[in-house]
Amino acid sequence: MSFDKQAQHIALILSDVDGVLTDGGVIFDNEGIETKRFHIRDGLGIKLWQKAGLQFGIVTGRSSNIVQIRAKELNIQVVRQGFEEKLSVVREVIAQSQLSAEQVCYIGDDLPDLPVMQHVGLSATVADAAVDVRKAASFVSECRGGYGAVRDLIECILRAQGRWTEIVQRFSTTSS
């Protein structure tokens, strides 16, 4: 099935964090507190996606406070941290959202993401993902993880759904 066809039905995007919403780097301070770097364009993309009445969630194998803070900032309700085996938690999230797997897009970057990518309606990844993940994905962003790949995915889905032009128009000022 083509990307445009798969994208029509997507109502929920679930995203991995490390290597997707970040460049995969994890920084520890002297107290052992973990920090990560997020991209502002991904943030706006997530907000626009939500504003279009669609859902966004996070599923990550690691667990850190910084992810909670970023999720809160972006009003992301679905945040599942500390699940190395992601498929069962994704199944649970899909059931709770009362959606079918065909309505869900998952974006990941490494081997633990493969089972989820094979389960959902649209599988996506970043430009610098693991080779096998790039091979398995229906959508490979031209952007690297942490450099706007999620924004790119959101734009492409909304374009396929015929909603992107209207969103851009909201940002254009009309002079009269």
Residues that bind Mg ion (CB under 5 A): 16, 18-19, 109-110
Amino acid at 116: V
Considering the complex, what minimum distance in angstroms separates the CB of residue 150 from Mg ion?
A: 12
Q: Buried b vs exposed e over 106-127: b needs ≥16 C-beta within 10 Å?
A: bbbbbebbbebbebbbbbbbbe
* Cβ distance to Mg ion smaller for residue 38 or 160: 38
20 vs 160 by CB, closer to Mg ion: 20
Among 63, 66, 125, 120, residue whose Cα is nearest residue 93: 120
Distance between CA atoms of residues 36 and 23, nearest Å: 9
Give min distance, CB of 15 to Mg ion, in A. 9
How far apart are CB 124 and Mg ion at their closest, in Å? Answer: 13
Closer to Mg ion by CB, 48 or 57: give it.
57
| DSSP label at residue 164 | H
Q: How far is the CB of 25 from Mg ion (least distance, A)?
A: 12
Report in angstroms how near the CB of residue 32 gets to Mg ion at its nearest.
21
Nearer to Mg ion, 129 or 160 (CB): 129
Considering the complex, state which of residue 18 and residue 152 has its C-beta at the smaller distance from Mg ion: 18
CB-based burial label for 65 (10 Å; 0-12, 13-18, 19+): exposed
> Taking CB positions, which residue lies at the least distance from Mg ion?
19
**Burial (0-12, 13-18, 19+ Cβ within 10 Å), 81:** middle
